[in-house]
Chain A
């Protein structure tokens, strides 16, 4: 029998709206499930306290920083009461969801995974979250992330133990929306709201075997999103099905008077678009997305490493399945500036991060040093020194260096011109008059499956290269989606990624849905993480 906590968002909303199950029953079932699987929540540990020991004592997924059970049950009761009065509770009636703790939600701690905001209680709610709640969805709480979203493993969070991969608790869930991906994979809520600045929705979705959609920059409002790199930050949904991603995006997307970069283009009916199929769509494959290319600093020579064979095979199997459904596969599409995407990101994102992080100074909110200080400047230095972890410090220092007047032309301006070249790669392949005329590009989202806890963290260059196959979409602003595509020999999720022209999330969702339907009976679709039971 299917348990209530296992249901998709679409099924929950349907059942609740018909009165076949109450929002409270669903919410309580998911809260009970969370109590079984999540273990110790992430928190600021005492000096000397070892996160591994906390994990060993209270093992689990550790997706949450703040569980807001009472708030969730009150929201569920409000949905049930609206139904009882004969009112429409909204298209997401009773759907339990989680929120990456980089969004403000009024009255909840909104920490960004950082000590510097650990005591900050948000005075207003982010637009993307507010819209889901207005549509009847029930917020379960705030989930963990890399500190200020700076990472690809969740290990940099000040709140420990950091989330684990539900498929193998010794591995990372990816990041920075690792709590979101882990929660969705472990059935702790039907959907989660994450953010993607370099791959922070798609990479953890790939590691945890769920759907992660990065919309076009400007499709979803950033109001209430604690900023990292403001020209790239993009809120989006993580779900277990393409249809749930369509439903969530439908609600989250659209213009917002609080964000001038949220565009006024009408929001399509994504759920209706899902059923259009993929016949005739032109899907590209690029050799530049099946290898990691970079200069070896020791020799100055270009160095190329192929993605793992099982990752290539999983993506090729997706291409074959879509070809069988009538899509046209276009091989050998050139994306020559893919290799420049991480070096350019190292510059651009750091400049924007440094600018955004200057506001944390211990004056109006957040952490202030308890140490005695001689003057205001010392208070700033101690507050920021104690409040920020290593990864924010690293980004602030790099951002200040590469944007300094005497270095800016060499670094920042060059990176912004390379960004233009990266964008032109996408313009060329999607050009309806061009040689490729693609509707989408198919690629792996990650060069490897989920890596073990502790394997990469600390090496800031290697960690950044975890985003090599995702970050170009953030430079170019185009939408992209990661979807489950099977498992490797160790039982770890494999994934595929599609990119589409700007504001064509409908194409991404059609492709994801078609592949899901075509593989619905495959044995791997029936697998569940062991911890879920």
Chain B
């Protein structure tokens, strides 16, 4: 197994992904990432003819198959309170409450 994802690189990815991991989780995830990368490197053995375009959707979308985009219009949801009730914390005015947002004061 390769060590492409080193402990340092792994820690950076975890930070960017905003994930707090237990040591057992971290060990499993780093090992599986490296094993998957071994499988992914197989793609380098496949010749790609010069000029091969990328495919981002399997099926092409010519204009005649597409619905025109909707008007960009505001539509009120009929039950505002039910939506807000899904939020983990709200205040009496209906604002969603979150912990302090980290910030630094610029000189």
Contact = CB atoms under 8 A, between A and B. Distances in A.
B42 A295 contact: yes
B72 to A, nearest CB: 13
Contact of A401 (B5, B46, B61): B5
B53 interface: yes
A381 B21 CA distance: 9
A373 B21 CA distance: 16
A471 B30 CA distance: 25
A418 B28 contact: no
A236 to B, nearest CB: 15
A474 B20 contact: no
B83 interface: yes
Contacts of A458: 28
A138 B3 CA distance: 52
Contacts of B79: 123
Chain A interface: which size bin? Answer: 35 or more
Interface in A366-386: 366-368, 373-382, 384-386
B59 interface: yes
Nearest to B15: A381
A218 to B, nearest CB: 5
B86 A120 contact: yes
B57 A376 contact: no
Contacts of B43: 340, 343-344, 347, 414-415, 418
Contacts of B21: 385, 393
B106 interface: no
Contact of B86 (A365, A397, A402, A464): A365
B88 A393 contact: no
Nearest to B9: A401
B13 A401 contact: yes
A376 B40 contact: no
A404 B46 CA distance: 22
Residue of A255, A256, A263 ringed by the most chain B CB atoms within 10 A: A263
A381 B89 CA distance: 17
Contact of A417 (B28, B54, B57, B102): B54
Contacts of A396: 17, 19
Nearest to B34: A297
Interface string B66-78: 1101100000010
Chain B interface: which size bin? Answer: 35 or more
Nearest to A302: B45
B63 to A, nearest CB: 10
A206 interface: no
Interface in A197-255: 216-218, 231-232, 255
Given A346-B40, A393-B19, A398 B33 contact: yes
B17 A364 contact: no
B39 A343 contact: yes
A520 interface: no
Contact of A294 (B33, B39, B82): B39
A415 to B, nearest CB: 6
A200 B12 CA distance: 32
B58 A461 contact: no
A291 interface: no
B23 interface: no
B105 interface: no
Contacts of A398: 33, 36
A396 B33 CA distance: 11
Contact of A380 (B18, B45, B53, B65): B18
A394 B99 CA distance: 27
Interface in A386-400: 386, 388, 390, 393-394, 396-398, 400
Contacts of B65: 218, 263-265
Contacts of B46: 337, 340, 418, 421
A264 B68 CA distance: 10
Given A297-B38, A418-B43, A400 B16 contact: yes
Given A260-B66, A376-B99, A461-B39, A381 B18 contact: yes
Nearest to A347: B40
B8 interface: no
Contacts of A342: 39
Given A297-B39, A377-B18, 15 more contacts: A121-B86, A123-B77, A231-B58, A255-B67, A263-B65, A265-B65, A340-B46, A347-B40, A376-B100, A384-B20, A400-B16, A415-B40, A421-B46, A461-B39, A475-B55
Interface of A: 120-121, 123, 216-218, 231-232, 255-257, 260-265, 294-295, 297, 302, 337, 339-340, 342-344, 346-347, 354, 361-368, 373-382, 384-386, 388, 390, 393-394, 396-398, 400-402, 411, 413-421, 423, 458, 460-461, 464, 474-478, 502
25 contacts: A217-B57, A217-B58, A261-B57, A263-B65, A294-B42, A295-B39, A297-B41, A337-B46, A343-B39, A375-B102, A377-B102, A381-B18, A381-B20, A384-B17, A384-B18, A390-B25, A390-B28, A394-B33, A397-B19, A411-B40, A420-B54, A423-B58, A460-B32, A460-B36, A478-B58
Interface of B: 1-2, 5, 9-10, 13-14, 16-21, 25, 28-29, 32-33, 35-36, 38-46, 48, 52-59, 61, 64-67, 69-70, 77, 79, 82-83, 86-89, 96, 98-102
The 4 closest A-B pairs by CB, nearest first: A477-B58, A385-B20, A477-B59, A368-B88
